[in-house]
């Protein structure tokens, strides 16, 4: 289960850092802090997109 959690967290950070459509900066004021597990600042979140991203990541890990 720990591997699935780690993969999901990584998928969200990867989406943010590649400036994808699901998680991206709002007004360029956000910063990813992977070591802390946080994205700090203003972000625009596509909640259904995040859920799909997490479900897809879980399915890949299983």
- Of the CA atoms within 13 Å of residue 55, those in its CB half-sphere come to 6
Q: Which residue matches tokens 């289960």?
A: 1
- Chain segment 20-46, per-residue pLDDT in tens: 889 888 888 899 999 999 999 999 999
Q: Which two tokens stand for residue 36?
A: 């802390």
pTM of the shown model = 0.85
Beta strands of 8-54 (E only): which ranges?
Answer: 23-25, 31-33, 38-40, 43-45
Domain ranges of the chain: 2-61
Write down the mean pLDDT value for the chain: 92
Whether 50 has a pLDDT exceeding 80, the answer reads yes
Q: What is the pLDDT of residue 56?
A: 96
Whether 1 has a pLDDT exceeding 80, the answer reads no
């Amino acid at each position: 289960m720990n591997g699935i959690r780690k993969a999901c967290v990584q998928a969200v950070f990867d989406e943010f850092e590649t400036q994808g459509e699901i998680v991206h900066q709002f007004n360029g004021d956000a910063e990813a802090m992977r070591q802390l597990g946080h994205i700090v600042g203003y972000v625009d979140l596509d909640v259904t997109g995040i859920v799909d991203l997490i479900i897809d990541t879980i399915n890949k890990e299983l």
